[in-house]
Amino acid sequence: MRVGVLTGGGDCPGLNAVIRAIVRKGVPEYGYSFLGFRDGWRGPLEALTKPLDIPAVRGLLPRGGTILGSSRTNPFAVEGGVEKIRTNLQNLGVDALIAIGGEDTLGVATKLHEIGVNVIGVPKTIDNDLSGTDYTFGFDTAVNIATEAIDRLHTTAESHHRALIVEVMGRHAGWIALHAGMAGGANIILIPEVRFDIEQVCRWVESRFRLDYAPIIVVSEGAMPKDRDESLLNGEKDAFGHVRLGGIGDWLAKEIETRTGKEARTTVLGHVQRGGTPTARDRWLATRFGLHAIDAVHAGQWGQMTALRGTDITMVPLSEATKELKVVDPALYAEAEVFFG
């Protein structure tokens, strides 16, 4: 059997560990051959390939990014895209496809499965917002990077008596902000699931300064104030219709300075959260996902996705994993609010 492998959407630490595990088990145990598709769904769409064998995956475990490249290509938005994929898979002799990605990549995989393509999914996103799995790899690394940044900002905030804002990734889900904010001892955490009151934020800021402490505010890129609409977004959209985010941190800094008279500065972590060496936990999870993905190929469990449930890896339908996003429960967020102000 010849198996295709692709990585789509935003890159994240642990992608290479999945590829490594798939190949290192698939070749000796099942006798499969592997073909890497480059740049996400653009690979099978345009027949862009890269050979994958055991020598090709050596040394990948600690390496960030993805050796296959990635993109936000949506074949269903391309005229004749699905038929091109079918034709290219047939011409290349690819019998099955392992798609590693987030909601958009796996959403495409779900649709391809429905029309007869043999697909297995592996969940990847630093946002940890995929349903069906307790955690996705990449999330732990992103949280650790954000936490370290918050730790470092505490001392400079105190030295200059400033309010410091840390803008982290999180379009619709505030998992990174919540976990990193609590771990880093942030004074205020703002997430997309709960619209915030800017006046209350300013009261919390003033409260910290009255105690001779400089506040640290962690905000998800998709967080929104109660009295504003989508005007904080810049309007640009990708192939999946997502509006490009960014700017909430700078907006907060200006509002805090205007309303409190206190100096405020913003640090946007951006793609720093995606890069570099994966943590031990992400390497562990990515490796287990890869091993179970190739087992699923061997068992013919098409249309399924690897998932972490407790400490067990199980298979769940792709349709379940992509039907809705996993967001932060407001009750869980309320636990963090105890420390605000």
Q: Which residues are annotated as a binding site for Mg(2+)?
A: 103
Using CA atoms, how far apart are residues 311 and 294, in angstroms rounded to an integer?
19
* Alpha carbon separation from 95 to 2, 4, 48, 160, 281 (Å, rounded): 6, 8, 17, 61, 32
Q: Which residues are annotated as a binding site?
A: 10, 103, 125-127, 162, 169-171, 221, 265, 271-274
Active site residue 127: yes
Q: Which residues are annotated as a binding site for diphosphate?
A: 10
Nearest Cα neighbor of 188 from 213, 218, 147 is 218
The DSSP secondary structure of 168-228, one letter per residue, reads E--SS--HHHHHHHHHTT-SEEE-TTS-B-HHHHHHHHHHHHHTT---EEEEETT--BTT-
Pairing of strands 216-220, 49-52: unpaired
Residue 130 pairs in a beta bridge with 325
Q: Determine contact, residues 63/277, Cβ cutoff 8 Å.
A: yes
Using CA atoms, how far apart are residues 152 and 214, in angstroms rounded to an integer?
13
CA atoms within 13 A on the CB side of 327: 17
**Residue of 127, 129, 140, 282 marked catalytic:** 127
Q: Is 217 left (phi over 0), alpha (psi -120 to 50) or beta?
A: beta
Q: Which residues are annotated as a binding site for substrate?
A: 125-127, 162, 169-171, 221, 265, 271-274
Catalytic residue positions, numbered: 127
